[in-house]
Structure 1
Amino acid sequence: MKQGFSPRALRISEQIQRELAQMLALEVKDPRVKGVTITQVEVTADLSHAMVRYVCHAGYAGQADADAGFRSVNGFLRHGIAERLSIFKAPQLRFEYDKTFEEGTRLSALIDQARADDARVIAPDSPGAIPGAPEADR
């Protein structure tokens, strides 16, 4: 989804993110979306569609429940956005799980594992050790 780069589209994206977070915390009764944090909202240039990315406190395991919860409360949230932003037609909301945090954690663990493997293969006293390199970087 291509995000509009107009100042209005960016401002609407930020407002939608704030309002959705507040509605989820205070007004939505569906327990499937209670442990959800809105990470990003992208609005198209014509303000007709909004991609809402979220993470669950339960992690990736809670995605299926959260998706079902968002399908259930989508109309309520869209109506609330229209009222709070005083716009005639609220954008269609599409919710997508944000995998960025899990991917970052996974890549960080892979890097740590690779560095540990390198440290075991190249011992500090071995002939293949890098001269002048600190112990942690070998």
Structure 2
Amino acid sequence: MSRIRVQKVAEQMKKELAEIVRTSVKDPRVGFATITHVEVSGDLQHAKVLVSVLGTQEEKDGTLAALTKAAGFIRGEIARRLHMRVAPELLFRLDESGEYSDRIERVLKTIHDGEDGGSAGE
């Protein structure tokens, strides 16, 4: 299948997944979850969904477990909303890129503050 078509499906899936998670998934373990990225295979059989979750590691794990449990329901909703005969199998993963960039920023700030403190005494 063309890459352009796969990218369009991924973008539309991202929008629909966000709406489904926000309004239709009733599991109380689903906290403040944001769909950050959807990567669809070329044959549209599999989709990796990256989810950013605010909260403790326990809350993140709970949200991921709830989404994984609801994957069949969500997949059916995706098929219905996107008019697909068969929706891709969904694989939910935590998106830790935001936390990683925050950690790098803190380290760089610490280094920068350390340099400022050292140069002031010279």
| TM, length-normalised to structure 2 | 0.93
**Superposition RMSD in Å:** 1.6
1:21 matched residue in structure 2: 18
1:122 matched residue in structure 2: 119
**Larger-gyration structure (1/2):** 1
2:90 matched residue in structure 1: 93
Runs of 4 or more, structure 1, over 6 Å off, are: none
- Measure, in 1, the Cα distance between the counterparts of 2:6 and 2:49: 14
Equivalent of 1:108 in 105, 110, 116: 105
Deviations for 1:101-134, whole angstroms, at most 9, x for unmatched residues?
A: 00010000000000111112222x62xxxxxxxx
2:72 matched residue in structure 1: 75
Unmatched 5+ stretches in structure 2:
none
- Measure, in 1, the Cα distance between the counterparts of 2:100 and 2:56: 12
- Measure, in 2, the Cα distance between the counterparts of 1:120 and 1:61: 38
**2:40 is aligned with what amino acid?**
V
- Measure, in 2, the Cα distance between the counterparts of 1:18 and 1:59: 25
Secondary structure in structure 2 of the residue aligned to 1:93 = strand
- Measure, in 2, the Cα distance between the counterparts of 1:34 and 1:20: 15
- Measure, in 1, the Cα distance between the counterparts of 2:35 and 2:57: 14
- Alpha carbons of 1:5 and 1:37: their partners in 2 closer, same or farther (altered >3 Å)? farther
Q: Residue 50 of structure 1: CA displacement?
A: 0.3
- Measure, in 2, the Cα distance between the counterparts of 1:27 and 1:61: 22
- Measure, in 2, the Cα distance between the counterparts of 1:59 and 1:84: 32
Equivalent of 2:35 in 11, 21, 38: 38
**1:23 is aligned with what amino acid?**
I
Asked if the contact 1:24/1:34 (under 8 Å) is kept, the reply is no
- Measure, in 1, the Cα distance between the counterparts of 2:6 and 2:61: 29
1:57 matched residue in structure 2: 54
How many residue pairs were aligned?
A: 122
Unmatched 5+ stretches in structure 1:
127-138
